[in-house]
Structure 1
């Protein structure tokens, strides 16, 4: 361990705007906006409707169109992108701290312990928090951060395969009632077997995506440093694999009328599709980012630079407006999508002006102050 940074307050300075990797900000911004398409369903509908389109919120043909398109193209894919970016971000932070002679691993562990605390508070209000998972996975990333991209891809792929195998294996061991508030009844708890399957699924999937995100960073892919033709081929291959798998998962559920007997098996193709589709989206976003800069580019990047703040404020707005003011179950999926569009406009509108006046988003600033254990300047 490098002893030149013996005190946690003697740390790397906060990253300035000029040091940032633009493509990471762009991808992170779209991932942050995209994750709301998943999460808004859980803000506005009963918990089983998050996984089971037939449970609630699908009263019209338009609701079904929105729901099916969301399942195929968004569900878990934006989560995978978000996870990849968080994984890459953990390594960027550690690498820069190490380059300045700091105790990178200890500082990173402290930073992610704080993230765990943020996630615990977030989870107290909403069951879908992912920050705790990222914090729990972070020691593994720090342990493996110097490995080659190939090794990271292999380990990440194994994690995703274990996630899919767990879901498939547990299906034959359970009865419909065991699914409880996952699929069949919002007032019934899941069985221990189902809870174990979900913990394994979410944990392995998050860790796998984060490791692959680090691999993409090590391979100079996620930074947008490869030629445009590389990203075109990457998008074609990744989406060519992922989209049919995702369609297959939805088709299994539709063919069986969302029967609980195939609830977990039907999720397997989607689990396998998440990372290929997320990589395909990253490739497409990179191609867009490599083009001429526009005002929209800048606004999306600003959302990405304030990813933590925007992620948490999405929850605040969703629980307040959809949950408390309108009421859970009062809107269909198409109406919830209108709410999503409004939040997107708000976050695209406010993030850039905020960062023109301040160095960081509000929650990013608080996280930094706690990380370095001293007050950080926030005004520009």
Structure 2
């Protein structure tokens, strides 16, 4: 193996990125598990299914306020930062940075398409599609990246507002909100695509900016992250609560579903930044075994993300049928998977250099067999 294809050493790793990625990987399961165990509209509409008790409702509403889209935003921010890390290191080692990065993300697209064949909620495909934009923008100033990312998220919010104004909720929302057996209209489909794509690309660009500003690496003093957490939660939490209140006070009516999502769209980045600040403050403390376990989950993010789908489809979709599970039961499943992934990731990396899917991705990227054992 040549030096240019050498794996990142322990001393080169940015532990703050690993720790944040570990939390984001576990957190995204809270979103995805609903889609594994309940009909598709239940992901967006808490009233649709799985909410038979006060505990189910509490879990559903808390998930919408604190988790929904926030962990994906963290994942997206980290993907943007990861693009920069890979490109900068490839450039420093004298490799053809753009060509290698595009090839790497073409492989990610292939992984995402295979994942999509089994489950509709894949994010890897979208990340791979957006990656050329990140490569073009990666050397821009942090300010430019923040502004461009913010504009992308604004497109997402505006698309939902316009769509709400022109649709007929009872027929157009379909599988998005009302009936899993009815396709959503083209208008809702386009709005949803702009929403999902705008938020993802916007967060990735902001993630590149956070890296260029040396924020996401955990290099700022603790006082900076305390202030970042206060501002992030101070802006994001009221907006997220507002979105949930709009839905609840209107009995989850389709007449307000898209407009009710707008506060949550705007809240995603501030809330994600608040979480990142808190995690960074924790990561700046003396390293404990728990730190190592979360970092290991983050280093195996691709493997853990894909195995969440495998386990979820086998257990929630394979052993149970839709409409038989409650949100409480699904949350118990989520906690069990968290324990499993926190338990297996560190022992695996004590024996091997990469997670299994990370290793396959790396071998295909460099088109050369890489040693996996330590």
Scaled by the length of structure 2, the TM-score of the pair is 0.98
Taking a change above 3 Å as real, the CA distance of residues 115 and 286 of structure 1, as seen in their structure-2 partners, is same
1:290-338 Cα shifts (integer Å, max 9, x gaps) = 1121111000000000000000000000011000112222211111000
Pairing partner for 2:70 from 72, 77, 92: 77
Cα offset, 1:10, TM superposition? 8.8
1:240-298 Cα shifts (integer Å, max 9, x gaps) = 00000000000000010000011100000000000000001000000000112111100
Pairing partner for 1:253 from 238, 247, 253: 247
For 2:107, the equivalent position in structure 1 comes to 114
2:38 is the counterpart of 1:49: no
Q: Structure 2: how far apart are the matches of 1:230 and 1:90? A: 25
1:72-91 Cα shifts (integer Å, max 9, x gaps) = 00000000000111111111
Q: Structure 1: how far apart are the matches of 2:48 and 2:5? A: 50
How is 1:168-187 mapped onto 2 (pairs within 5 angstroms)? 168-176=161-169, 177-187=171-181
Taking a change above 3 Å as real, the CA distance of residues 96 and 280 of structure 1, as seen in their structure-2 partners, is same
1:95-131 Cα shifts (integer Å, max 9, x gaps) = 1001111110110000000000000000011110000
C-alpha contact 1:11 1:97 (8 A) present in aligned 2: yes
Instruction: Describe the SS at the equivalent of 1:212.
Output: helix
For 2:183, the equivalent position in structure 1 comes to 189
Q: Structure 2: how far apart are the matches of 1:129 and 1:244? A: 29
Q: Which runs of 5+ in 2 are unaligned?
A: none
Instruction: Describe the SS at the equivalent of 2:371.
Output: coil
For 1:154, the equivalent position in structure 2 comes to 147
Q: CA RMSD in A?
A: 0.9
1:124-182 Cα shifts (integer Å, max 9, x gaps) = 11110000010000000000000011110000000001100000111011011100000
For 1:354, the equivalent position in structure 2 comes to 348
Q: Tell which deviates more after alignment, 319-328 or 20-29.
A: 319-328
Q: Structure 2: how far apart are the matches of 1:17 and 1:203? A: 34
Instruction: Describe the SS at the equivalent of 2:259.
Output: coil
1:28-74 Cα shifts (integer Å, max 9, x gaps) = 00000000000000000000000000000100000000000000000
C-alpha contact 1:158 1:208 (8 A) present in aligned 2: yes
2:82 is the counterpart of 1:89: yes
Instruction: Describe the SS at the equivalent of 2:217.
Output: coil
For 1:241, the equivalent position in structure 2 comes to 235
C-alpha contact 1:38 1:75 (8 A) present in aligned 2: yes
For 2:358, the equivalent position in structure 1 comes to 364
Q: Structure 2: how far apart are the matches of 1:46 and 1:53? A: 11
Q: Structure 1: how far apart are the matches of 2:263 and 2:118? A: 31
C-alpha contact 1:11 1:372 (8 A) present in aligned 2: no
For 2:8, the equivalent position in structure 1 comes to 15
2:288 is the counterpart of 1:290: no
Taking a change above 3 Å as real, the CA distance of residues 26 and 10 of structure 1, as seen in their structure-2 partners, is closer
2:50 is the counterpart of 1:60: no
C-alpha contact 1:234 1:283 (8 A) present in aligned 2: yes
2:327 is the counterpart of 1:339: no
Task: Figure out how many residues of one structure are paired with residues of the other and give that number.
Answer: 372
Instruction: Describe the SS at the equivalent of 2:228.
Output: helix
Q: Structure 2: how far apart are the matches of 1:81 and 1:344? A: 17
2:135 is the counterpart of 1:142: yes
Q: Structure 2: how far apart are the matches of 1:71 and 1:267? A: 10
Q: Tell which deviates more after alignment, 193-202 or 9-18.
A: 9-18
Q: Structure 1: how far apart are the matches of 2:77 and 2:16? A: 13
C-alpha contact 1:10 1:102 (8 A) present in aligned 2: no
Q: Structure 2: how far apart are the matches of 1:347 and 1:12? A: 28
C-alpha contact 1:170 1:197 (8 A) present in aligned 2: yes
C-alpha contact 1:12 1:96 (8 A) present in aligned 2: no
Cα offset, 1:212, TM superposition? 0.5
Pairing partner for 2:260 from 260, 266, 277: 266
